[in-house]
Amino acid sequence: MIWLDLMLVGLILGLAWRCVHAIELMEAVVVFVALGMLVALAWARLQAPDAALAEAAIGAGLAGALLLATLRQLPAQAVRPQPLHWLWWGLWGLFGVTLLWAIGSILSTPVSLMPWVNTHLPEAGVSHPVTAVLLNFRALDTALELAVLLWAWMAQRALGESPDTSFHPVQGRVLATAVKALLPLMGLVAVYVLWRGSSAPGGAFQSGAVLAAAWLMLWLADLPGLDPRRWSVRLGWLGGVMVFFLVGLLGLVQGIGFMGYRPDQATGLILLIESAAALSIGLLLASMVLASLPGIKGRRA
């Protein structure tokens, strides 16, 4: 297995190198997506399936879609990477070696918070330790991460509209029919991934990524879907953050403390937060990609 891991590491480093040094931006984006998939594999090898799922869905999938959508708006050009001064090579090399040494010496004395997590897992309302940490023990981290996503979308909106360039319209009904057929399945997967998060790898971010993909496919097939002028969609963007913090305040009312749950209500409240968060994440991610795609306004108006 060590040889496979070394191969994986080699491939990741090689692809990262290629991504940075690609002459054409298109090539860089494609390599970046491939890199994301390999990093997801690396997470899986590190026995972090939650991170692997998120990396594959968001790091490779949706980030790739965003990059491709942005690429279409840029004028065709080749970037010639600046050769790096040898001094920088030396500095970065030194930094890398130091880091390797540090990681090596950390590995010899493993410490972590896992014992605490396992001790308190029965009171957390969920049985999957990752979900317990993200949604209960360190809930404010996750709530603010959701806020980061919301503010990233706010930032994108503030930057203005994409230029309107035309698309090749899709001929025939193949795409629309297939999307219609696949949609219920995607919804099912999203709900399943969300539900599964309480006891096994999965959760709001992964489920939201599936939802975002479903919305994007609806749009690609020119079916009625996501219209940012609709109130429900706008409310959906902030639903996750709102619900998360309102439940957090509920903890204060009940005397548990800010961002706390009563142990007997934890399961239900966590599921409520995760559902709202998954919807929000899906809507936000899909909106981000759609807003970067040229021609969105012309097609919906």
Partner 1 sequence: MTEWGLAALVVWPLLWGALTLVMPVRWAALPGVLGGVFFGTWVLTWAPQSVALGGWLPPLGLSWRLDGVSQFMIALVAWVGGLSSLYAWWDRSLPSAFWGLWLGVWAAMNALLLTADVFHFYVTLELLSVAAVALVALTPGPAATRAAFRYLLVSLTGSMLFLLGVALLYGRYGVLDMLLLRDAMQGDGITALALAVMTLGLMAKAAVFPLHGWLPQAHAKAQTVVSAVLSALVIKAGLYGLLRLWLDLFAPLTSQPDSQAGWVLALLGTVAIFWGGYQAFRTPALKPLVAWSTVAQVGVLVLALALMVEATTRDSDGLTETLWRGWVWLVAAHALAKAGWFLAAGTVQKRAGETRLAGLGVALQRSPLSVFAMALAVVSLAGLPLSMGFLGKWWLLSLAWELQAWLWLAVSLLGSLLTLAYGWRVLNLGLSTGHGAEPLTPQAPLQTVPTRLDAVALILSALSVLGALGGYWYWEAGA
Partner 2 sequence: MTALIAWLGAGLITLGLMFFVAGTVGLLRFSPSINRLHALTKADTLGLGLVVMGLALQAPAVAVALKLVLIWSLALVSAALVSHLIGQSLCAQRRDP
Residues that bind partner 2 (CB under 8 A): 168, 170-171, 174-175, 178, 182, 185
Opening angle at CA 29, ends 25 and 34, nearest 5: 145
Q: How far is the CB of 251 from partner 1 (least distance, A)?
A: 6
What the block records as the tokens of 125 is 């309302």
Q: Which is nearer to partner 2, 146 or 179 (CB)?
A: 179
Residue 171, binding choice from partner 2, partner 1, none, Cβ under 5 to 8 Å by partner class: partner 2
Measured between alpha carbons, how far is 107 from 152 in angstroms, rounded to an integer?
35
| Residue 147 or 182 having the CB closest to partner 2 | 182
Q: Which does 138 bind (CB under 5 to 8 A by kind): partner 2, partner 1, none?
A: partner 1
Least Cβ distance, residue 105 to partner 1 (angstroms): 6
Minimum CB distance to partner 1 smaller for 53 or for 132: 132
Binding interface with partner 1 (CB under 8 A) = 98-99, 101-103, 105-106, 109, 111-113, 116-117, 120, 136-141, 144-145, 147-148, 150-152, 154-155, 157-160, 231, 234-235, 237-238, 241-242, 245, 248-249, 251-252, 256-261
Name which of partner 2, partner 1, none residue 116 binds, using a CB cut-off of 5 to 8 Å depending on partner kind: partner 1
105, two tokens: 């010496």
Closest approach of partner 1 to the CB of residue 174, in Å: 36
CB 203 within 8 A of CB 50: yes
Which entry of partner 2, partner 1, none binds 100, CB below 5 to 8 A by partner kind? none
107 token code pair: 């590995």
- Cα 104 to Cα 83: distance, rounded to the nearest angstrom: 31
Which of partner 1, partner 2, none lies near 17, with the C-beta cut-off 5 to 8 A by kind? none
Per-residue burial over 40-59, b if 16 or more Cβ lie within 10 Å, else e, is bbbbbeeebbbbbbbbbbbb
Instruction: Give the tokens for residue 154.
Output: 């706010």
Closest CB 291 distance from partner 1, rounded Å: 13
Could you give the CA distance from residue 80 to residue 84 in angstroms, rounded to a whole number? 12
Task: Tell me the Cα Rg of the chain.
Answer: 22
For residues 244 and 242, what is the distance between their CA atoms, to the nearest angstrom? 5
User: Least distance from C-beta 141 to partner 2, angstroms?
Assistant: 33
Q: In terms of Cα–Cα distance, which of 11, 69, 32 is closest to 286?
A: 69
Least distance (Å) between residue 116 CB and partner 1? 4
Q: Could you give the C-alpha distances from 281 to 62, 145, 149, 202, 243, in angstroms and in order?
A: 12, 11, 8, 14, 13
Residue 150 partner contact from partner 2, partner 1, none using kind-dependent CB cut-offs of 5 to 8 Å = partner 1
Q: What are phi and psi of 265, to 5 degrees?
A: -100, -5
